Amino acid sequence: DAKTTQPNSMESNEEEPVHLPCNHSTISGTDYIHWYRQLPSQGPEYVIHGLTSNVNNRMASLAIAEDRKSSTLILHRATLRDAAVYYCIRGSNYQLIWGAGTKLIIKP
Amino acid sequence: DSGVTQTPKHLITATGQRVTLRCSPRSGDLSVYWYQQSLDQGLQFLIQYYNGEERAKGNILERFSAQQFPDLHSELNLSSLELGDSALYFCASSVSLERGVTDTQYFGPGTRLTVL
């Protein structure tokens, strides 16, 4: 199963927007895109998911490219508490197929 | 707090031994998932149970087995342990909706297994 591709790490300043990219060029038409994050020493937590349309929730926004080969997680105003590893995941039927994630570093 | 509990939090054992990890899902969740996370790696899906039955299998070794009990808690059994089995083991649960929709998974705090 093809995994997603993300940058190993990214840095951002506190209180600025953050755009985390993800490539999933081999995704099938019925696979969802999920984002989870893992704070230090914790289990992963759900952030957002979508299929074709852009999605918004209280934590973040998800922008999915029209061809569905890439997506971007947007944190509108990053805080120090958002420092975590962010995973872009292909959801296929009942399984989540995890990549290596992007370590997001927030600078005060 | 996700509502998913895992015990024990830490486990230290020797090569060749057998251990059991326990997971209690969120109230009302019928699916339980097990994952392995080695140092600085992403999560590897091991196995999923739904209402007591195995639903999906990932990269789970033959030395590993799991089950889900009638009260919906689950146990992951690891036997003939090797040094390379040292990792964080996470359990997650979900409501499990109809086929074709991937559920949101809620993760426990994990069990850190160290094999010496």
The verdict on a CB contact (< 8 Å) between B90 and A44 is yes
Average pLDDT over residues B59-66: 94
The verdict on a CB contact (< 8 Å) between B42 and A99 is yes
Closest alpha carbon within chain A to B43:
A98
pLDDT in tens, B8-44: 999 999 999 999 999 999 999 999 999 999 987 788 9
pLDDT in tens, A8-35: 999 999 999 999 999 988 888 888 899 9
pLDDT in tens, A40-58: 889 999 999 998 889 999 9
In three-state form (DSSP H/G/I as H, E/B as E, the rest C), the secondary structure along chain B is: CCCCEEECCEEEECCCCCEEEEEECCCCCCEEEEEEECCCCCCEEEEEEECCEEEEECCCCCCEEEEECCCCCEEEEECCCCHHHCEEEEEEEECCCCCCCCCCCEECCCEEEEEC
The verdict on a CB contact (< 8 Å) between A46 and B105 is yes
Q: Is B23 on the interface with A (CB under 8 A)?
A: no
How close does chain B come to A74, measured CA to CA in Å?
A: 19
